Amino acid sequence: MTAGLTYVVTGGCGFLGSHIVDMLVERGKNISEIRVVDTKLRSYKSPERKGVNVKRIRGDVTDMAQMTEVCAGADVVIHTASLIDIIGLVSYTTLWDVNVKGTETLLQCCLNEDVPCFVYTSSRAAVGPNSRGDPVEDGDESTPYDSSCPLLPYGRTKAAAEAMVLQRNGRRTNGGKTLHTCALRPGGIYGGAGWSLIKMCQEFGMDIFSARPQKGISHPSVKDSPPYVGNVAWAHLLAAQTLVTSPQTAGGEAFHVADDTPVQNSATLYGVLCAPIGIRWDDSLALPLWLMYFIAYLLAFLSFLSKPFYTFVPRLTPALLTLANTTFYFNYKKATRLLGYKPLFTWEESKQKTWDGLVEWKARDFS
């Protein structure tokens, strides 16, 4: 492996991106510089390692001039920057511009600036669920699935960007190198202080610190197995290293990223993870599912009627209900076989780290 590699991590101040940066500093091989690119430069203390320079850069992945400068002289780009939206707060045009056109911009910069390795953070949503809510249990990358009717606009953008990334694998750069690309598909990532689950609950108006258990919108029979953020970051590091050392192994491939988090109903998982900060979850539905669908369709109709006069975005949508009530999870056997991936953190370690982060977050923001 070439010594003194330069990495670019887009979205590097975000939830997953910051964990990837920390993982590269702590465990990366032969890295001299990490360029952390984000539209908002969040202040947090990264671990330090002699010989590794972490440089934070304010930048927008849709800006060709900025990304050309960022990619100049780089060896690996890990592209995590993305807009995530599951209820329609962001217009489809904006989602497409950032998630698809932004990815296209970065790929072109890699070809122009002779960057040979590109790791894309895709999503399980790039595969499904589809609008019918067809389930997948313990699936893999070869599991047949009808993705022709995607459930979410977000999923459509991630699928389009992922396809573009994999199609660029093997392209010749301007300087005569070969661009090697791969995509990772995590889903429902948890862990870390200020965990996005809590923020989502607050967006839905839940009084998360009340004495009453929180009721959800997912039927108790629906199962999932989301990965811990540290394991997803570890998979990115291994994917990048594999593209550098053995590009024919991972180039042009997509990988589901999971870990050994128990397969269970989401309310059960959230109940375990949120227990140390006093948030209780009830695995029963807030309302009968048929009634929630009725309300969701009614809200969607009202949103349509009000569109000429007022932008009304319901927090409960039919697509969100279908997403929450579809068993849809995959294994990581292909990532193990081709990337050498095994979860770096056990379930017990992932749980403890999530507890520690949430306790710290509550003490800081709610004391």
Q: CB of 125 within 8 A of CB of 131?
A: no
Task: Of 185, 261, 178, 196, give the one whose Cα is nearest residue 227.
Answer: 261
What is the 8-class DSSP label of residue 54? E
Output the CA–CA distances (angstroms, integers) from residue 157 to 83, 95, 132, 313, in the order listed: 10, 7, 19, 20
- Give me the catalytic one of 154, 190, 332, 341: 154
Terminal C-alpha separation, the chain:
48
Task: Of 154, 157, 194, give the one whose Cα is nearest residue 320.
Answer: 154
Q: Is 92 in the active site?
A: no
Q: CB of 230 within 8 A of CB of 191?
A: yes
Q: At CA 246, angle to CA 245 and CA 252, rounded to 5?
A: 125
CA distance 214 to 292: 16
Q: Residue 146: exposed, middle, or buried by beta-carbon count in 10 A (0-12, 13-18, 19+)?
A: exposed
Q: Please give the positions annotated as active site.
A: 154
